[in-house]
Amino acid sequence: MSGSDPRRWLRDARRAIARLPALRLSRIPDAPALPVRDPWPGDAARGARFLKGEFENLGVVIPLRPGGWSDTGAPEILRSAVHGFGWLRDLRALGTPAALLRARALVGDWIAAAPSERLVDRPDVVGARIAAWLSHYDFIAASGDDAFRQKLMGRLVTDARSLAAALPTEELDVRALTALKGLVAAAVALPDHAAFLTRALRFLPQEIARQVLPDGCHAERSPAAQLAALQELAEIRSMLQAAQVQLPPSLSQAIERMGPGLRLFRHGDGGLALFNGSKELSPILIESVLSQCPRGGRALSALPEGGFQRLQAGRSALIVDCGAPAAAGIDRFAHAGTLSLELSVGKDRMIVNCGSYPAAGAEWHDAMRSTAAHSTLTIADTNSSELKPNGLGRRPAQVAVQRQEANGAHWLEASHDGWKKPFGAIHRRRLYMAESGEDIRGEDAVEAEQPQPFAVRFHLHPNVSASLQQDGEAVLLRLPTAGGWRLRADGARVSLEESVYLGGPEPRRSEQVVLTGHADGPQQVKWAITKVG
C-alpha cells in the first residue's frame, strides 16, 4: 500500500501533480529541438511480421493491431515491450511505405486510446517509449499532419513530466537505466524543460554505482542484462554529447569497464552465453553495442566481483558461473545455475544451458531457471537456489573459486553451499583445459556426511549429434564444423536423454548427457571431453 511507504506515496503524489492539466503552463513545442538518434539495428523480418499484426518478442508471438493495446492477454514482460515501442526500429528497418504508415497508425492509435493499465506508467516503460518516439520522430511524424505531431509532442511532454516525478524508480535493476535514458532523451529534445536534465544527472551516477560492479559486470549477473545496460548507457552518452552536456565521469568509466565484461560472455558464434535469463541474441546487435566501447584485445578471463570465469585455449572457450546469485531486488531473472558451464569450439556451441523463456507461463519459466536445466550437478532433484516468482529464496551463501594457469593450460576449482540447509552438502567442481583446448577434464564431488543421490548434466546444443557408445561409458559428439569429440565418465552411469534449447528465437529439441552417481558409491564423478581424431 502506498500509504505504508512514505517515499512511494510522495512519488505517486508528484506524478499525479505532474499530470494535472492546469499545471501544463508551458507551450507544447511543434517538434523536438534536437534530434535523438537510435543507434541500434532493427530486424526487418520482425517488421514484416508486424505488418501482419504479429508482435514477436522473446520467442513468443502475440497479436497487435490498432485498438488492441489493453487486451493482449500477454505476460507482463511482453506488455512492457509493446508499450515501450522499441519495436519501431523493426518497422524502420523494413523501411517500406506500408511500414511507415503502420508505425504512425499504431502510435496515433495508442495516444488516442490512452491505455490505463498501471504498467503503461511504470518508469522504465515510459522511458523506453519517450526514447523510442523521439529517436523515430522523423520516421513517424515528419510526413504526418499537424494534428498528429501536436498530439505526439503533447504526450511526450506529459510523459516526461510524469517520469521526472517518478524518479528514483522502485525498480532496482536495468529498468532504472531505461527510465533515466527516457528522461535524458526528453531533456535533449525539449531544452525548455531544464529540470529534466538536472533530475536525470542527479540520479545517473548513483544508479551506475549501484548497478555496475568494479570489474564491469552488471549486478544482475546476466549476459543479457550486461548487454541491455551497456546499450542504455551508450545511448545516454550519445544524447548528452549531442546536446553538448559535460559527461559525468562515472558514465564513460562504466562503458569502458562493461565492454570487456560483455566480451567475456560471447561464444565463437558471436552470441551470448545462457546464464540468468539470457538468450543468444543478435551478434549484429552485440557487435554494434561493443563498437560504442573502447576496443580491446581478447575477452577478459574473469569477472571477480561478477563471479564468472572464462577458460580459453586453442579454439575452445569454457564459460563458468562461479559466483553467488544476484542480490534480492535485482534477481528477478536469476537462475539456480551456480557452477554451471558452457563450452564452444570455434563457432560451434557444444555444451550449453537450456536458456530462458520469460515470456511463457510460470511453469516453463521456472523449468528453465531450475538447476536441472543447467550443465552442472544436481542433488536429489533439488534446486541449488529456491525459485520464487520474483527472484530467489534460499541460495548459496558461499561460492569459492581458485584459478591457475601455466603454459597455456588452465585449472579451476570452485565450490558452493547451496544445498547446505536441505542436505548439509557442498558441491565442488574441478576443471582443467589443456593448452590445445582439445582436452577438457572435470571432477564433480558432493561433500556431505550422508550420501546423496546426484546427477551431472551436460545439455547439448541442438546442432550437436550425439550417440551413446556400446560400452555405455562414453558419448560420441559430432559438431557441425569442429568435428568429433568424446565425453566419457568414471564413477557414474552415462545416459543420453531428451532436452530442450531455448537460447534462440524459438524452442528446439535437443539432448543431454546425464551422469548419474551410484547411491552406494563414491560421491564424485570424473569426466573428460576430448577431440577425436
d(CA 22, CA 33): 24
C-alpha cell of 344? 564452444
pLDDT of residue 3: 44
pLDDT tens-digit profile, the chain (533 residues)? 444 565 565 556 555 545 545 444 457 888 898 889 999 999 999 999 989 988 888 878 888 777 777 665 778 888 999 999 999 999 999 999 999 999 999 999 999 988 888 899 999 999 999 999 999 999 999 878 899 999 999 999 999 999 999 998 888 899 999 999 999 999 999 888 889 999 999 999 999 999 999 999 999 999 999 999 999 999 999 999 999 999 999 999 999 999 999 999 999 999 999 999 999 999 999 999 999 988 765 678 999 999 999 999 999 999 999 999 999 999 999 999 999 999 999 999 999 999 998 877 778 889 999 999 999 999 999 999 999 988 999 999 999 999 999 999 999 999 999 999 999 999 999 999 999 999 999 999 999 988 999 999 999 999 999 999 988 889 999 999 999 999 999 989 999 999 999 999 889 999 999 999 877 778 999 999 999 97
DSSP 499: E
Q: Helix-strand-coil percent breakdown of the chain, rounded to 5? A: 35, 25, 40
Nearest to 368 by CA among 378, 356, 379, 360: 356
Spatial separation of the C-alpha atoms in residues 502 and 254, rounded to whole Å: 30
What is d(CA 452, CA 141) in angstroms, rounded to the nearest whole number?
64
How far is residue 217 from each of residues 223, 258, 374, 474, measured CA to CA in Å? Answer: 9, 6, 21, 37
Domain residue extents for the chain: 30-202, 302-531
Average pLDDT of the residues of the chain: 91
State the architecture of 302-531 in CATH terms: Distorted Sandwich (2.70)
| pTM summary value | 0.93
Cα distances (Å, whole numbers) of residue 150 to 3, 31, 115, 157, 421: 37, 8, 19, 11, 61
CA distances to 319, 348, 352, 461, 468 from 464, in Å? 18, 8, 11, 6, 13
Tens of pLDDT along 327-349?
999 999 999 999 999 999 999 99
**Three cell numbers, residue 457:** 548434466
Least Cα distance to 167 among 153, 190, 183 occurs for 183
CA-CA-CA-CA dihedral for 73, 76, 78, 80, to nearest 10: 120
- Cβ distance 31 to 149 under 8 Å? yes
pLDDT of residue 39: 93
Q: Which residues lie across from 266 on neighbouring strands?
A: 272
H runs (alpha helix) in 175-274: 175-189, 194-211, 223-242, 249-264
C-alpha span between 299 and 295 (Å, rounded): 11
